Amino acid sequence: MEVKAHKYPTDFGDITLVRLVNSHGAAVTLSSLGAGILAVEVPDAGGEIANVALAYRNPADYMADGPTMGKTAGRYANRIAFGRFTLDGCRYQLDTNLPPHHLHGGAGGFQNRIWQTELLSNGVRFTLHSPDGEEHYPGAVDATVEYRWSDDNELSIMLKAASDAPTVVNLTNHTYWNLDGADSGCALDHALQLKASRWLPTDETLIPTGEMAPVVGTPMDFISPKRLGADINADFPALRYGKGYDNCWVLDREVSPATESDGAIVVCHHAMLRDAVVLTAARSGRRLRIDTDQPGVQVYTGNWLAGSAHCRSGRSYADYDGVAIEAQGLPDAPNRPEFPSQRLNPGSPMIRNIRYRFDCVD
């Protein structure tokens, strides 16, 4: 495995870019800005290698971008209703950076920080310290994102957080995929399959109602492979609210009962769910299979990509040019005791895993 790093100077500090190249020439490029993915270069059915992760031309453009392109979102990925939650009787008010709600940890979220970088034999480890009170969250948190790239074109991500006080954490990767090539245009012809028989209905501001609704008989049904664009224009509330898919599905798995420690709920750890998500592009023949131990997956069809920073083709992406598939804890879980807990306690680090496996359909 070839592992190379170099510094990219910006007005807000040096970014470290790390490139991993396996024995077959497939490669991943990672950035210390947001502990993010800048490129994943894998072969199509004809053996031609191309980048399939949407990317900006300038690595500095990832700072404070609207799409959160490729980065690690946190402290709390996705939404917290009205930026409020209560923990151990104390009420916390976060910034409402997506009025009237809190999104992806706020303007100073983990995705907009430069992480420390440590090279590994087949990957990289990014680390970040978030002090107590940052973005108005309780507790000092030490976060780790570890990427490893294999000769089998598998990109593994380990997400870890430890805190010195009770807090809430939800980490995910926010890469947008287009398996025909990052700059090839609309991705709505990709076929998506989810191991999820339930999804989370929301209000018009995309805050979950608390219901876990069956997908059968609705446009939210991806139990069998279906084109992303097949039902995207259906007269269905969730699709009207988001101008496309921007919703969370509950992955089908056995849920371990919650346990208690000193009166506090402990987040349950699950085994990896293999092929939790499968994304396929018929034109290129590329396939992305996602394994994870996270309880849910947010699917966002890039409904508001227009106007983003220029991509490597020298243009802004258009809406629907890529799809973000975010394995994560459930949105607004700090306010929903019926959802799996995203509480983080001192002495009990939270560890979550995502694995992206790239191949081609037969």
Please report where in the chains the tokens 């995910």 appear, as a residue.
172
According to DSSP, the residues that pair with 145 across neighbouring strands are 126, 159
Please pick, among 41, 135, 146, 326, the residue that the annotation labels catalytic. 326
Active site residue 48: no
Extract long-range pairs of 57-61: CB within 8 Å, 24+ residues apart: 57/309, 57/310, 57/311, 57/312, 57/314, 58/309, 58/310, 59/8, 59/10, 59/15, 59/17, 59/31, 59/33, 60/8, 60/10, 60/11, 60/12, 60/15, 60/33, 61/309, 61/310
Judge whether 66 and 167 are in contact, CB under 8 Å: no
Please report where in the chains the tokens 């598939």 appear, as a residue.
325
- The C-alpha atoms of residue 77 and residue 62 are separated, in whole angstroms, by 17
Please pick, among 174, 211, 254, 269, the residue that the annotation labels catalytic. 174
Tokens of 8: 């990219």
- The C-alpha atoms of residue 253 and residue 290 are separated, in whole angstroms, by 15
Strand pairing of 273-280 and 191-194?
Answer: antiparallel
- The C-alpha atoms of residue 229 and residue 345 are separated, in whole angstroms, by 41
Tokens of 132: 């107590």
Active site residue 136: no
The number of beta carbons lying within 10 Å of the beta carbon of residue 296 is: 28
Judge whether 357 and 153 are in contact, CB under 8 Å: yes
Going by the DSSP 8-state scheme, the letter that residue 76 receives in this structure is: B
Nearest partner of 281 among 359, 183, 174, 176, judged by Cα? 359
Say how many Å lie between the first and final Cα of the chain, rounded.
27
| Catalytic residue positions, numbered | 174, 326
